[in-house]
Amino acid sequence: MKHVKFIVFLCILTFTVSCGQQSKYVQYKVKEGETMSGIAQRFNMNTKDLLRLNPDVGSNPAVNSVIVIPNKKIKATSSTKDKTVEDVATGVKDKEATLKEKKEELIDELKKNFVVYEVKKGDTFYSLTRFYNVTQEELKTLNPVLSEGLKVGQIIKIKAIEEGEVVIENNIYEDVIDSKIHLKAALLLPFRADEYRSSTSKDIFQKSKLADMVTDFYLGAQIAVDSLRSQGVNIELNVFDTGSNSTKIKTILSENNLNKNDVVIGPLYSEEAELVANRLNVPVVFPFYSTKQSKFTASKLIKTSPEKKVFRDELVTYIKDNFTTGNLILVGDGEYESNISNAAIKQSLQSHDSITVVHVLKPSKGYIAKNRFLEILKPNQNNWVVLTSDNTILVAGAINSLISLPDNTNVQLFTYNKGDAFDKIANLKLAKVNLTYVSDEYVSEASISTQQFNNQYSRKNNALPSFSATKGFDITYDVLIRLASGDDLKDTFKEGASFRIESKFDYTDKSGGVTENKGLFIVKYNNDLSLTRLK
């Protein structure tokens, strides 16, 4: 019954705070073209008094918005005749305080059964659906009022909480632009123009994957800058060719005061990135993954690609949160690195209350025979198999064994290292074993933002954006839109995670001061070969 009362109160919150005083004040729906001064004149009031009665309404209220006006049908008694507008305003404030307290109680009650969110300025359906991994239709089903759009201050239900589910409240970074901001950014990439001066474009891009990657990244970054400029952000972008060795980097540093920039994106190579970050006092964004990035020590460096260990930890966390009953099997290649991973994963999983047994399989004579799987797999139960190696032979052999199991034996295959070995397997086979993997990229082709980016890129470059082009856009846009708030870049990282076209940026500072991104997705193959984001 108490819960029902709170639900009823949620509806009450949508009315103005004057409802309890309807004998003296009534609601008035604003008509098209009306202003507060016009309404005040019509009801023989002072505009200032009307605004005091409606502190959340500006001089030009929206059409169909509801405001409070005095009820002219009520005659003033001796006790109310001398009441001033200030007295009324004080009463309104008291009622607002009471409503605020009730609102907090309501939120606490709703949180027992739902993930709850208060809509903030700048929120869109796209940002909410990307962050919480729900659809716009699901949001509207839980919150019918959203058919009229999102409104700042609304308390909305995101999704129901399942029994036993632990909800971790994360923040979404809110894109805010300071209209007076002027940004200056430097882009350092190895175009190697001097080397290619006498080559044709066909020779350059057919022979050099690096040239393709660097050029596409730059083109994506340009789209990001253009997009922000169209939103009113004043950006000066300076591009430097870092060539093929660190000598060129040192020349750039000596001949240009890069400290005058708000941010430096690049260089591409880890040694050069460390060199630049140690010489500058501004953030240096490292745009691609490197096996050497775990050794970074420069406090100004920002790693945009998560460490591989973070991939493994993300999968282990997902399994702990979602596995209930059934079978857990770790499959490794028997090599040192895989053995270390198996031991760490097994120990972590068995520390969880609902997981008691974790099986481990290793190759015999280079492969794992199908009958070894059948000895462990259980019919009519969940069988979760985790591949802890990217060994081509092991991956191919394991998948071939798992796609030909008896009909009553179902399997879901997991990996945190979806590398080249999986790229050689037909997607049909991956879908058949319900491959679920950790990724630092996930794109929804149906989203408006994705379509806008693809169209803008295609119009400008006569081609659809590559992975590198999209990465160039995501990194550049995310860094610059955060700086456009006028806040320190690292301070914005504390305000929450952001989702761009195919990347998630969820930054944290390591003990040494280096900032690293931990933004990852859990993605699953469907039977129709489409992909679903699970987390």
In a domain, 529, yes or no: no
Residue ranges making up the domain that contains 460? 182-305+445-519
Q: pLDDT for 503-530, tens place per residue?
A: 999 999 876 689 999 999 999 999 999 9
Q: pLDDT for 225-240, tens place per residue?
A: 999 999 999 999 999 9
Question: How many residues does the structure list for the chain?
Answer: 535
**Band of pLDDT at residue 13, cut at 50, 70 and 90:** very low
Q: Which of 395, 417, 439 is the last residue of a domain?
A: 439
Report d(CA 518, CA 394) in Å as an integer.
28
Place of tokens 């086979």: 429
Task: Flag whether pLDDT at 130 surpasses 80.
Answer: no
**What amino acid is encoded at 275 in this protein?**
L
**287 and 215 housed in the same domain:** yes
For the chain, what is the domain count? Answer: 4
Backbone φ and ψ of 62, nearest 5°: -70, 150
CB 535: neighbour CB atoms within 10 A?
A: 17
**429 and 453 housed in the same domain:** no
HSE-up of residue 49 (Cα within 13 Å, Cβ side): 15
In a domain, 34, yes or no: yes
In a domain, 142, yes or no: yes
In a domain, 8, yes or no: yes
**296 and 237 housed in the same domain:** yes
**454 and 417 housed in the same domain:** no
In a domain, 524, yes or no: no
**187 and 266 housed in the same domain:** yes
Report d(CA 154, CA 147) in Å as an integer.
13
172, 131 contact by CB (below 8 A) = yes
pTM above 0.85, yes or no: no
**417 and 515 housed in the same domain:** no
Q: pLDDT for 283-303, tens place per residue?
A: 999 999 999 999 999 999 999
In a domain, 15, yes or no: yes
Report d(CA 95, CA 391) in Å as an integer.
66
pLDDT given for residue 6 in this prediction: 38
**287 and 257 housed in the same domain:** yes
> The domain that contains 124 carries what CATH number?
3.10.350.10
> The domain that contains 367 carries what CATH number?
3.40.50.2300
Query: Residue 150: left if φ>0, alpha if ψ -120 to 50, beta else—which one?
Result: beta
In a domain, 248, yes or no: yes
Q: Which of 103, 122, 151 is the last residue of a domain?
A: 103
389, 410 contact by CB (below 8 A) = no
**84 and 193 housed in the same domain:** no
Task: Flag whether pLDDT at 356 surpasses 80.
Answer: yes
Report d(CA 73, CA 26) in Å as an integer.
10
**331 and 414 housed in the same domain:** yes
Q: Which of 386, 409, 439 is the last residue of a domain?
A: 439
Task: Flag whether pLDDT at 384 surpasses 60.
Answer: yes
**188 and 297 housed in the same domain:** yes
Tokens of 436: 């679920």
**501 and 408 housed in the same domain:** no
Measured in whole angstroms, how far is the alpha carbon of residue 335 from the centre of its chain? 35
**317 and 435 housed in the same domain:** yes
Tokens of 191: 């175009």
**Burial group, residue 439, by CB count within 10 angstroms (0-12, 13-18, 19+):** middle
DSSP H or E segment with residue 114: strand 114-118
In a domain, 497, yes or no: yes
Rounded to 5°, the CA angle 126-131-132 comes to: 105
Report d(CA 500, CA 310) in Å as an integer.
20
Residue ranges in 143-241 assigned as alpha helix (H): 193-196, 201-207, 209-230
pLDDT given for residue 321 in this prediction: 87
